[in-house]
Amino acid sequence: MNTIPQSSFIKRRIVYVDDEVQKGLLIALVMIEILLVAGTLRVLYSQMGDVVEANLYRVHFSGKPHLYPLLLETALIGLSGLVAINVLMLWIAGWVWMRHVNSIVKPLRELLGKDEALDFSEDAAVHAPHKVVDLALAWRHTKRQRMLKLRTEIAKLSELGDLSDAGARHHARASLEAIRKLLPN
């Protein structure tokens, strides 16, 4: 996952690129486009050949329609088919891309919802093999470890009881200092 640097005019918007998926989609679209253009040219060649064959020996006969409108009609049918298939392929590529993005964003939203609720419990149910989700899980794991240490230090404070003697106050200060280090600045 790379970030594309942007000009200073657009500072807030960062475009994220997933090289693996986008490269696969681009290669697939280029290959399909090459096959589609070759197929369209082959069909147009065949259909235009039929139109020319049908009008080849009509030099002095004016009862048939002119050749150019027939060729134009054949070309427009072929090109409209090409455009329709291209639109369909772009729609499919957009669907694949959105499916990929949603497969990343859905678990990330669940993790962020847990973070918002300060729920740092284990995340065994998250199965999204992506760097962003892995980073979020690693961050949550470190937060969980920090919260567990914080809980342990707070439990030590409650065990101290009366703080009238110097030893208990020293342990309380040490626990409070450990808690202060565990809390964010």
Residues 101 and 136 in one domain: no
CA distance 185 to 7: 32
Crossing angle for the helix pair 67-116 and 131-160, to the nearest 10 degrees: 10
- In single-letter form, the type of residue at position 109 comes to R
The parent domain of residue 17 ranges over 1-119
What's the N-to-C CA distance of the chain in angstroms?
Answer: 30
Q: Read off the DSSP letter of residue 117.
A: T
pLDDT score, position 35: 92
Residues 4 and 36 in one domain: yes
CA distance 184 to 182: 7
Residues 81 and 5 in one domain: yes
Instruction: Tell me the whole-structure pTM to 2 decimals.
Output: 0.57
For residue 34, what pLDDT band results from cuts at 50, 70 and 90?
A: very high
Residues 7 and 30 in one domain: yes
* Percentage of residues in the chain having pLDDT higher than 90: 6
Residues 37 and 90 in one domain: yes
The DSSP line for 7-75 is -TTS-S--EEE-HHHHHHHHHHHHHHHHHHHHHHHHHHHHHHHHHHHHTTT-TT--SSPPHHHHHHHHH
Average of per-residue pLDDT across 1-28: 64
Average of per-residue pLDDT across 95-124: 79
Give the end of a domain, one of 100, 119, 138: 119
> Which of 65-69, 75-79, 164-168 is the most confident on average?
75-79
Residues 108 and 148 in one domain: no
Residues 110 and 127 in one domain: no
Residues 144 and 184 in one domain: yes
Dump pLDDT digits (tens) for 77-96: 888 988 998 899 889 888 88
pLDDT score, position 134: 80
- In single-letter form, the type of residue at position 36 comes to L
Residues 32 and 100 in one domain: yes
Name the average pLDDT for the chain: 77
Q: Look at the chain and count its residues.
A: 185
Residues 49 and 59 in one domain: yes
Angstrom CA distances, 23 to 17, 26, 93, stand at: 10, 5, 12
Residues 78 and 100 in one domain: yes
Give the end of a domain, one of 64, 99, 119: 119
